[in-house]
Amino acid sequence: MNLTELETKILNHRLEVPDAIVDALNGEEDENIFFPDDIDDICEMLLEGSFLSAQDYSYTITEAVLVDCVDGSTYWGASKTNGDSNQKLGAIERAGNSLVKKIRAFTDHEEAIVFPTY
């Protein structure tokens, strides 16, 4: 998957916190849908840019992680809190929406994916 520098920053912002992804994907502690170690491994592969290796490891987990990286993103909100300009926030929003399209194409994900801008 070819990502711009800003798309990579948005994706990595979430991937660098795999515990948040584990919590988002598994819900309650007794509801482990995915093994936390598998999620950690996928996050590490994606951080290294090894998208195809992650899919080979587990297509289902890779899809779930990538979707969560957008749906669960706090990148725009953190940038707004940091006082970034409206111009920069607009660029982040456009990059986030572009990332949604690329993830949808890479995974064939059909459900709604939303890059949060609040």
Please write the tens of the pLDDT for every residue from 64-111. Answer: 999 999 999 999 999 999 999 999 999 999 999 999 999 999 998 888
3-state secondary structure of 110: coil
Q: How many CB atoms are closer than 10 A to CB 97?
A: 14
Lookup: tokens for 54: 């992650």
Q: In the predicted model, is pLDDT for residue 31 greater than 80?
A: no
| Polymer length of the chain | 118
* Residues 23 and 65 sit within 8 Å (Cβ to Cβ): no
Lowest mean pLDDT among 32-36, 47-51, 98-102: 32-36
Tell me what pLDDT residue 110 has: 86
Span 12-28, average pLDDT: 92
Tell me what pLDDT residue 93 has: 97
Considering only CA atoms, give the Rg of the chain: 14
3-state secondary structure of 56: helix
Q: In the predicted model, is pLDDT for residue 16 greater than 80?
A: yes
Tell me what pLDDT residue 30 has: 61
Q: In the predicted model, is pLDDT for residue 27 greater than 80?
A: no
